[in-house]
A = this chain, B = another copy of it.
């Protein structure tokens, strides 16, 4: 099935995550411990910490968020894993997915048999304006930021380009948000464990409590179209188009393929992986797609010997709703310019032909940036193993894909997993 150049395969045999959200009382090391403990419990045939040889930690900027760099040896020590090899990998919001890929290469090389992949970010200690500033350091701060851009602006520029090029209505973005909140409402680890209707109802009852005029939104679409419900951030991206500021940790256990069955009878095999880079947004020929995502996807499909139509479920990087629509095209699920129609038609819903972001995505599950790429793999772990509970996608799921983007597309990493029975 695979066209891998790697001399040996790699499998996921355990996965755990903290709840994503805002936790003023917790530091990133606390979040790591929570995720680590859940990972331990997830290993069907038992986890032996003495076998772990390395930690690859995806983290964007604990330097800025917590004034704590050199995080990898600290969290390893915190769970008693010193003196294993530890390192932090940074590729902005793609740090987690890149950490997983690099850990897999280290196993493929024969250097390690058993490796932990972590993803961590603790963002909510700073004021929101400082968070926006810290995130902006993922763009080109010599040329883009002085021009007035921050990330909502980058994705707003992509969204307007997309709308103009493909005649897409703003409502397409609403449908992404509605769908991801529907999924998040079924995920108890999600920061927004609520549908848009739940949020509308809460706003209405708050208005009643306070004796204010009660807004009359007839539908979720109407709510999202009303600036009182969904205030503008950077048009056409409004509040419910943006992933939140989050704290969270995620941990995945990777082992060499020949050891996988010692840990579980249902491992996931990493059968495809690709990674690519790009210059700043201002240097690109197109604003309506992410070239690095197309390149990374092509590499991953080729290695896996698969086509986009083979993929059963995908977690894609919906830092903004436009990003999910572009991803659904960059990954080849829909032709260019068709992603917005698929979103409106419900083709990416849990019961659609191509379920995307069944976890709630970054939009509803939350986006602790360095953890997001690892969190995506945890959803694929759950869905392919049939343990996703109320949000379980039906049918015989075999192939799952994770698509993780850094910045406005300067980095993209795609990993493809298979369940084999």
Residues of chain A touching chain B, judged by Cβ–Cβ distance below 8 Å, are 5-7, 27, 29, 54-55, 60-61, 63-64, 66-70, 72-74, 76-77, 81-92, 98, 102, 105-106, 108-111, 134, 137-142, 275-280, 283, 291-292, 295, 406-407, 410-411
Whose C-beta in chain B lies nearest to the C-beta of A93? Answer: B70
Q: A141-B66, A280-B74, A407-B70 are in contact. Are A275 and B85 (CB under 8 A)?
A: yes
Q: How many Å from the CB of A304 to the closest CB on chain B?
A: 14
Q: How many Å from the CB of A255 to the closest CB on chain B?
A: 15
The 6 A-B residue pairs with the shortest CB-CB distance in the complex, in nearest-first order: A77-B279, A73-B410, A108-B109, A73-B277, A109-B109, A85-B275
Sample (17) of A-B pairs whose CB atoms are under 8 Å apart? A5-B111, A29-B142, A63-B63, A68-B140, A68-B142, A70-B407, A70-B411, A72-B90, A73-B407, A74-B280, A74-B410, A83-B276, A86-B277, A87-B98, A87-B275, A89-B89, A105-B105
Q: A105-B109, A109-B6 are in contact. Are A69 and B138 (CB under 8 A)?
A: yes
Q: How many Å from the CB of A2 to the closest CB on chain B?
A: 13
Q: How many Å from the CB of A64 to the closest CB on chain B?
A: 5
Whose C-beta in chain B lies nearest to the C-beta of A135? Answer: B69
Say which residue of B54, B63, B73, B276 sits within 8 Å of A64 (CB atoms): B63
Q: How many Å from the CB of A133 to the closest CB on chain B?
A: 8
Say which residue of B87, B110, B277, B410 sits within 8 Å of A6 (CB atoms): B110
- Report B-chain residues with C-beta under 8 Å of the C-beta of A102: 87, 102, 106
Q: How many Å from the CB of A61 to the closest CB on chain B?
A: 5
Q: A68-B137, A74-B279 are in contact. List 16 more A-B contacts (CB 8 A).
A: A69-B90, A69-B138, A70-B92, A72-B91, A72-B277, A73-B410, A74-B140, A74-B280, A74-B410, A77-B410, A83-B278, A87-B91, A105-B111, A108-B109, A108-B110, A108-B111
